[in-house]
Amino acid sequence: MDNTQLLTTESIPRLMRKYSVPCIISLLVAALYNIVDQIFIANADYLGSYGNAANTVVFPLTVIALAIAVMIGDGACAFVSIALGGGKEEEAHRSVGNSIVLTVLSSLALTAAYLIFADQIVTAFGGRVNEDTFRLSREYFFWISVGIPFYMFGQAANPVIRSDGSPRFAMASTLAGAITNIILDPICIFIFRWGMMGAAAATVFGQVLTAGLSAWYLARMKSVKLSKESFRLDRRIVLRTLSLGMTSLLSQISLVAAMAAINNMIREYGAKDEIFSRPEYAQIPMAVVGIVMKFFQIVISIAVGLAAGCIPVVGFNIGAGRKDRAKSLYTRLLIYESAIGAIALVIVEIFPELLIGVFGAAGESAYYTEFAVKAFRVYLCMMPLATLNKGNFIYLQALGRAGVSTAISLVREVIFGVGFALILPRFLGLDGVLWSMPVSDVLTFVLSAVVIAQTYRILSEKNEKN
Q: b/e string for 245-271 if b means 16 or more Cβ within 10 A?
A: bbbbbbbbbbbbbbbbbbbbbbbebbe
Specify whether the CB–CB gap between 28 and 302 falls below 8 A: yes
- Provide the pLDDT confidence category of residue 439 given band limits of 50, 70 and 90: very high
Specify whether the CB–CB gap between 304 and 27 falls below 8 A: yes
What residue segments make up the domains of the chain, in order of their start? 3-465
Which helix (H) or strand (E) is 99 found in, with range? Answer: helix 89-116
Specify whether the CB–CB gap between 387 and 303 falls below 8 A: yes
- Provide the pLDDT confidence category of residue 3 given band limits of 50, 70 and 90: low
Burial label, 434 (beta-carbon count in 10 A; 0-12, 13-18, 19+):
buried
Measured between alpha carbons, how far is 4 from 19 in angstroms, rounded to an integer? 12
pLDDT score of 24 more than 80 = yes
DSSP designation for 189: I
pLDDT score of 1 more than 50 = no
> Could you tell me how far CA 180 lies from the centroid of its own chain?
20
Q: Percentage of residues in the chain with pLDDT exceeding 70?
A: 96
pLDDT score of 259 more than 70 = yes
Instruction: Write the pLDDT tens digit of every residue in 176-226.
Output: 998 999 999 999 999 999 999 999 999 999 999 999 999 999 999 988 888
**Could you tell me if residue 122 is left (phi over 0), alpha (psi between -120 and 50 degrees) or otherwise beta?**
alpha
- Which three-class secondary structure string do you get for 388-439? HHHHHHHHHHHHCCHHHHHHHHHHHHHHHHHHHHHHCHHHHCHHHHHHHHHH
pLDDT at position 465 is 43
Specify whether the CB–CB gap between 103 and 152 falls below 8 A: yes
3-state helix, strand, coil in the chain (%, to 5): 85, 0, 15
pLDDT at position 204 is 95
pLDDT score of 5 more than 70 = no
Give whole-number Cα distances, 182 to 363, 393, 437, in Å.
Answer: 22, 32, 30
Specify whether the CB–CB gap between 24 and 306 falls below 8 A: yes
Measured between alpha carbons, how far is 170 from 73 in angstroms, rounded to an integer? 12
Radius of gyration of the chain (CA): 22
